Structure 1
Amino acid sequence: MTFHIGTLFIPKRICRASPGRLRWYARLPHKPRRTMMLPSLPILHLAGTRVRIDDISLRRSPRVNALRAGSSASDIQAFIAAANTAGVRYVEAPLPDQGLDAVPFGTGRPTGTQVAISVWDLDGGRRALALRPDCLVLTLVASEAGNLALTGRPRVDTIEQLQQVAALAAASGVSIMAAVHAAFGCPLDASVDTEVAIDLADLFAAGGATGIVLCDDTAMADPLSIERACDGLRDRWQALDVAVELSNARGMALANALAAMTTGIAHFRVSLTPGDTHTSAMALLAMLHGMECETGIDMDRLHACAALLEFPIGDRSPSKPPSQTSSGIARV
């Protein structure tokens, strides 16, 4: 430990000595040191931030897709109950196969847990509303080529159908969120940038959406592009909940999360399943808790919840990952 006097750094052991020894040390030849005052890092100002964490394991996990693995209603409810116990208050799932259409998500689940279903078209929206979810996630791809490869329809048709779904949801009292995939770039269309994704999100923001999600399915985002894209979004959509869904395919998820937080976005969607290319809930929570951020999630209970996803719910055997298009965007 040292004390700084002008340009002279004096060791603490010398300062404890007699004044004579201190004068002797000061007479020794010393190279002057230049001091520098650095500005506070943005991370310091993020300490104590309240961060919302949503779970998308049932929709996104490459090792388990409970709704397409022949699982029963009790299996699904067991996962939702475990997530609720861990402090997760939002679980998103894909639209189930026809065999599970009779299982309402609005019943038999813990109080305080919202269940959302992601839909791509009008038919899926009608089926999803019949399950009585808390929220519908209207999903589309920012690029024309990516949307065509994933849905088989032009982007304008997808937008038109999702707008009809939004009207049906409003009539049923179900909230909607808009999730724009490949929001930070698409390998099938280099001309698409985040401004296109933001313009698409504006359409649904004006149509009654309560939240906007920007998804980095293609792993093309980096901290600089995240900060540039997300800067000002909280002011642009003041009345909406803005979330980011990040990919960890290139190991940038945590850095990208920090970049998003510096712009005021503190809402992330993650997967509990180890090995998922999306942001790992465990890694993100470890970082957030180390930064003294508040998440309301119990890590130990979350590990127990993740254990349910070690193998597909229902048959307990390894499953195939979700199919993907050439764009790298996973089918949901």
Structure 2
Amino acid sequence: MEDITYYPLRFPPIYQYRLWGGRKLEHLLTEKLPDGPIGEAWLLSDRDEHASVVADGTLKGKTLLQLLRQDEKGIMGKFADRFDRFPLLLKFLDCNDVLSVQVHPSDEQKQYIPKGEHGKTEGWVVLETQDDSLIYAGLTVGTTPQSLKKSLDKHNVAEHLHSFKPKNGDSIFIKAGTIHTLKGVVVFEVQENSDITFRLSDWNRTDKKTGKPRPLQVEQALACIDYDQINIGPVEPSPSQPPVVLSSDYFTVWKHSEKEAFTVGGADEPRVLVCVSGNGQIESNENCQIKKGNVFLLPAQMGACQIIPNGLIEILEVGIPS
């Protein structure tokens, strides 16, 4: 193991084409978007197919996985040896058009999870809305497997989906097994490190890029739906300071909205900072600027540090529960 002096590690986004995407991430991130509809920016990813790479400093060019293999204790602290990979995947989503009606398996539904993968519980923080914004989360009361199958046959699955009009700042928790989709919103998403999605319906549309409909996984989706997940709405933030806006067995998200100096990070554990508005400075052994769209990993070895805002700054801080 090398003797490494850690600093706040910045990771540039990894953009993803999605037929339901748009161009709104141009206003949130500074890195140029590729042509076409961009639906996702992967902000911190320890996945082989899309690996986050350090942007600056002495560790520039290292992937997140390389950092963990080089010095897991320095990055993960008290969580060293607990995970095979970094356990969370962070994204921005531009849901310009409606996503497919989908569901993710839980960790316990191993028959639907490839070897080495995990289930997928996730959460969203709404950053932008528009007039026709809509979030579908959970089923309507009384929905059964039989009634849901009938609605699929009639191409009217929406009649069994609970929906609400979101507003900026809403947080929504999507437990694995919860049927869901989004339309007309930009959100921050935190999830288990998994890329397993089962599409129940894709609104009978065609992908302009391929000229074909996207494949569905109806059998798997129906098997993984938790029919007790009904009428899911926004989460009430905790009264703590800073407030906890999302909490689960897999992740905790705090929201900082400050004009004065404040503390981020934790003793012997990694934290991730996602700046959604404003700018300022991270004061550490190597001071660095943080601005809208920036994503920084604070390695466990760093512990806590200070953010000095330049006016109002809003930061989502993501941690791993003990």
Compute the TM-score of the two structures, normalised by the length of structure 1.
0.26
Higher-helix-fraction structure: 1
Higher-strand-fraction structure: 2
Compute the TM-score of the two structures, normalised by the length of structure 2.
0.27
